[in-house]
Amino acid sequence: MQRIIIIGASSGIGLELAKLYIKNNDIVGVTGRRKELLLELQNKFPNQVSVECFDVTGNENIAHLESLIKKLGGMDILIYNTGYGDVSKDLEWQIDKQTTQTNVNGFIEIVNYAFNHFAKQGHGQIAATSSIGSIRGNSWAPAYAASKAFMSVYMEGLHMKAKKMKLNIAVTDILPGFVNTKMAKGNKQFWVVKVEKAASQIFNAIKKKKRRVYVSPRWRLIAWILKWMPYSIYRRIA
């Protein structure tokens, strides 16, 4: 039995992951902004679920996280699943600001704390949901692509740091393509994965302590194409 904390579990992938860990007889701490949805899950599984309601763009992330760790009696895995992104055709500051506060500031504060917590504890695992969008820049949502790239690069750095410091900390970078959630935007979506299937693939990747997982695996091909596509071609489609 493990103690899992999922940042961003009121709906979508986070909620489905919580259900899988509950089914696995683990103890789960869930967070989000919509308290009623978190409590709905807790009421169904009162012996396995603890709740902390907060927005990661606020100033009390660590206080809430420490409270949740105390409720669970510890933490073995932290999953940073919350995120924000929107199309910013005219480069709207409010969109860029919220994107950065959620995907960069909130992310790094919580994941940095988790890494140091696990270092003192002697073991642990961090997983974070970045995106295929992290591979290259994007003219329609520049802040989103950049923020997800920040997440992926930071997670890679943590993985290397854990190895160099000989720490028993696994780091899993999750790169979804299009998943059937409210976060999936755009009218040219393809290879869309059902949220239950995406959560199952992520659950198994975390269990195997994979360094990186593409959801679904076929998106590895897209990532490779995007990475090596000449800029003169890429800029016409992004």
CATH code of the domain in which 152 resides: 3.40.50.720
Stretch (H or E) spanning 84 = none
193 secondary structure, DSSP code: B
Q: Which structural domain range is residue 230 located in?
A: 3-237
| Per-residue pLDDT, 190 | 61
Instruction: Kindly report, residue by residue over 110-119, the tens digit of the pLDDT.
Output: 999 999 999 9
Into how many domains does the chain fold?
1
Global confidence as pTM:
0.92
Tokens of 16: 């489905």
Phi and psi torsions of 3, nearest 5°:
-110, 115
Q: Output the average pLDDT for the chain.
A: 92
d(CA 235, CA 144): 17
pLDDT at 192: 77
Ordered per-residue pLDDT tens for the chain, 238 residues:
999 999 999 999 999 999 999 999 999 999 999 999 999 999 999 999 999 999 999 999 999 999 999 999 999 999 999 999 888 889 999 999 999 999 999 999 999 999 999 999 999 999 999 999 899 999 999 999 999 999 999 999 999 999 999 999 999 999 998 777 655 444 566 667 899 999 999 999 999 999 999 998 888 898 898 888 888 988 888 7
